[in-house]
Amino acid sequence: MNVKISDIAKALNISKSTVSLALNDKDIVNAETRQLVKDTAKKMGYAPNALAKGLAKNKSNNIGLILPDITNPYYGNLAKYVSEYTEDYYNYNTIFAVSNDNPQTEKKIIENFISERVAGVIIAPITNKCKDHSYIKNLERYNICYSFVTAYYTDIKTAYSMSDLEEGSYQLVKYLLDLGHRNIYFLATSSDVVPTYTRIRGYEKAFGERNIPVDSSKFIECKIANFEQAYAATQQLIVSKTNMDAIITMNDIMALGVLRACTEHDINIPETLSVAGYDNVIYSSVATIPITTVHQDLQGISRGAVDMLFDMMKNGQDYEGAVLIQPELIIRRSTARR
């Protein structure tokens, strides 16, 4: 069978404990012994059994990352940054799971992470409505720390790291107001969730600064923040001959949906209508018309979440840090003065 610690011990005529100690680089073992052990381990093709190790220590060397949608490069990049940083800097591995924007799935994932005895969990929240996230607290019963990334659930108190969405939305709307637009539609999910209501606050702030009243009927709610729903919502607006100066969305993929609907109805962008997205993922720059958007520093966001998680793993879950990263308005061709 596979070579294990006891095999190395037998081969070297020393005890299992010494081998274990040596393999883990403890300096209480003689330097020569240590080297010898490591060499023979390599020679014999020893591969540590993470399961046994985890069982003995009652926790694994993995942290779990929950993503709502892995087909969106926004989360793909997030996954990349989180796992690279976790591995390079903290020497832990990352295991991913995809919630598909479904609270039930998210719950199952958490149960599974508990079973796997992950050392910590980072959650990228689902972006649609769900009132009860208490299942997340199960993690605490197992002393598993968790932090949020990209947003957070208001009913769960823990560290979070995200872009300052309110500020980003504020800058974008201010810019559109500067261009002379007034009828600015906003396509997003339920205003109950953080990613939406923070953006709405930014929108309102920009309007408020100029004493322009906000018409909340311009906030259009989509069930899911994807291409199809943004496309459908835009068609609806066009067909009902709504008076619009601009449409902004909560992510770039939705902006693509808006573009598609406009193209099909021969609406010229940006001449007749300005369109803007959010996130600055690659295809906002390569779309039919390069899209004005708001850049998020995903790398910074990722590091914030990882750092705070490991901080909590060291000092306990009751930590209420927050990392809020400044966004950057990216102006492209999809927006213009009327």
By the rule CB under 7 A, 16 interacts with DNA: yes
- Residue 14's binding partner among DNA, a copy of itself, none (Cβ under 5 to 8 angstroms by kind) is DNA
* Least distance (Å) between residue 104 CB and a copy of itself: 13
Residues 6+ apart with CB under 8 A from 67: 75, 78, 79, 96, 97, 98, 99, 124
Which residues, other chains included, contact 302 with Cβ-Cβ below 8 Å and sequence gap of 6+? 78, 81, 82, 85, 149, 161
Closest CB to DNA among residues 27, 266: 27
**From 1, 217, 241, 286, residue interacting with DNA (rule: CB under 7 A):** 1
Tell the smallest beta-carbon distance from residue 141 to a copy of itself (Å).
7
Q: How far apart are CA 77 and CA 301, in angstroms?
A: 11
The Cα 239–Cα 293 span in angstroms is 25
* Site membership for DNA, residue 282 (CB under 7 A): no
In the complex, least distance from residue 118 CB atom to DNA, rounded to whole angstroms: 15
Give the pair of three-digit tokens for residue 303. 């590091």
Using CA atoms, how far apart are residues 224 and 286, in angstroms rounded to an integer?
Answer: 23
- Does 236 contact DNA by CB under 7 A? no
Token code pair at residue 102: 């479904």
Size of the site for DNA (CB under 7 A): 30
Please identify, among the stretches 17-25, 180-188, 258-266, 271-279, the one whose residues bind DNA according to the rule CB under 7 A. 17-25
Residues paired with 330 in a beta bridge:
293
The vertex-216 CA angle with 214 and 222, nearest 5°, equals: 140
| Radius of gyration for the chain, computed over Cα atoms and rounded to the nearest angstrom | 25
Where do we find the tokens 């003065």? Answer: 337
Contact in structure between 8 and 46 (CB atoms under 8 Å): yes
Task: Tell me: does residue 291 bind DNA (CB under 7 A).
Answer: no
CB closer to DNA, 141 vs 241:
141
Letter for the amino acid at 298? L
- Three-class SS state of 238: helix
Helices within 133-209 (DSSP H only) = 138-141, 165-178, 194-209
Cβ 266 vs Cβ 238: under 8 Å? no
Q: Among a copy of itself, DNA, none, what does residue 16 contact (CB within 5–8 Å per kind)? A: DNA
Nearer to DNA, 10 or 131 (CB): 10
Which of DNA, a copy of itself, none interacts with 20 (beta carbon under 5 to 8 A by kind)? DNA
Q: Under the rule (CB under 8 A), what is the footprint of a copy of itself?
A: 2, 45, 47-52, 54-55, 60, 70-73, 75-77, 79-80, 83, 93, 95-98, 100, 111-112, 114-117, 138, 141-142, 227, 253, 256, 259-260, 282-283, 286-290
Question: Which residue is listed with tokens 């994807």?
Answer: 226
Residue 29-68 contact track with DNA, rule CB under 7 A, x = bound: xxx-x------------x-xx--xx-xxxx----------
Among 11, 23, 179, 329, binds DNA (CB under 7 A): 23
Secondary element (H or E) of residue 120: strand 120-123
Nearer to DNA, 5 or 176 (CB): 5
Does 18 bind DNA (CB under 7 A)? Our answer is yes
Q: How far is the CB of 287 from a copy of itself (least distance, A)?
A: 6
Binds 44, which of DNA, a copy of itself, none (CB < 5 to 8 A, cut-off by type)? none
Question: 3-state DSSP call for residue 181?
Answer: coil
Minimum CB–partner distance for residue 11 and DNA (Å): 12
What minimum distance in Å lies between the beta carbon of 18 and DNA? 3
* CA 201 to chain CA mean position, Å: 21
Question: Which residues are near DNA by CB under 7 A?
Answer: 1-2, 4-6, 13-18, 20-21, 23-24, 27-31, 33, 46, 48-49, 52-53, 55-58
